[in-house]
Structure 1
Amino acid sequence: MSKATIGLTVKHRRYVPYSHAHYAGNLVDGAYVLALFGDVATEVCIQADGDEGLFASYSDVQFLQPLRAGDVVEVSATISRVGNRSRDLDFSAYVVCRGRPDRSASAAEVLGEPLEITRAKGTVVVPVG
């Protein structure tokens, strides 16, 4: 029996290693965050339906601020609509800690206010059950 309910939320946090920097200024490409959205979407499907489900589509993706190597990013997925087999999800990504290579190679700080870097809307599908 499905436990899919509007408002069910899953959050993950991940340190972004310097090996993922692809651009000047230690910038990380947007695909990194989209992969994290896929991970939280998978857990939402497991929690709600007991199945990993399949990601069907994004209807909107907005890259608001850069993600940098050395950041700690928190991503979340929240069910916003429940259909027979589909679930619409709202995604967000926030930087909660930021590397400070200007201070030293290993310096970092906890941000006083998380910085929203990406938001998206997507749809997953799960088996009928």
Structure 2
Amino acid sequence: MTEPDPRDDSRLGLTVTHRRYVPYAHAHYGGALVDGAYTLGLFGDVATEVAIVMDGDEGLLAGYSEVSFLGPVRAGDVLEATCEVVRIGRRSRELRCTARVVARAEPERGPSAAAVLDPPLPVVEATATLVVPTP
């Protein structure tokens, strides 16, 4: 009997997206910059939902094999974080994670001014490994 081809798994390509407003309380550096760990934490939340949807368990985000910080995240941003399943193992799932700024504060226009960014601004890309319990 032949093993099924893992590339034929219908769960490949499963994509989950969260959006979150970045509060000013998270500004850590000059220019209202937010540290990179903020976005990695958001990826962890999205990966948890991926595990729940795929496996009925929260799983564990075991690590990142690659992280690229492409642009700044600032307080007042609205971030969109997406994780897509790109490989499925027996207990692991490889995720392609991306974060984009979809809206940004514009304090130069006024204290509560903001604008939607079209197109969104890519700020972080990562490859993550998610581990789930043995079925």
Task: State if a TM-score over 0.5 links the two structures.
Answer: yes
Greater strand content: 1
Mark the runs of 5 or more structure 2 residues left unpaired by the alignment: 1-8
TM-score by length of 2: 0.92
What's the secondary structure of 1:22's corresponding residue?
A: coil
Question: Deviating runs (4+, > 4 A) in structure 1?
Answer: none
What's the secondary structure of 1:65's corresponding residue?
A: coil
Contact persistence 1:18–1:70 (CA under 8 A): yes
Residue deviations 1:69-128, cap 9 Å, x none?
Answer: 000000000000000000000000000000001111110000121000000001011011
Counterpart of 1:31 (choices 8, 30, 37) is: 37
Cα distance, 1:76–1:34 mapped onto 2, change above 3 Å: same
Contact persistence 1:4–1:48 (CA under 8 A): no
Residue deviations 1:48-68, cap 9 Å, x none?
Answer: 000000111100000000000
TM-score by length of 1: 0.96
Q: Alpha-carbon deviation of 1:4?
A: 7.2
Counterpart of 2:51 (choices 17, 36, 45) is: 45
Contact persistence 1:85–1:126 (CA under 8 A): yes
Alignment of 1:22-101 (within 5 A): 22-101=28-107
Mark the runs of 5 or more structure 1 residues left unpaired by the alignment: none
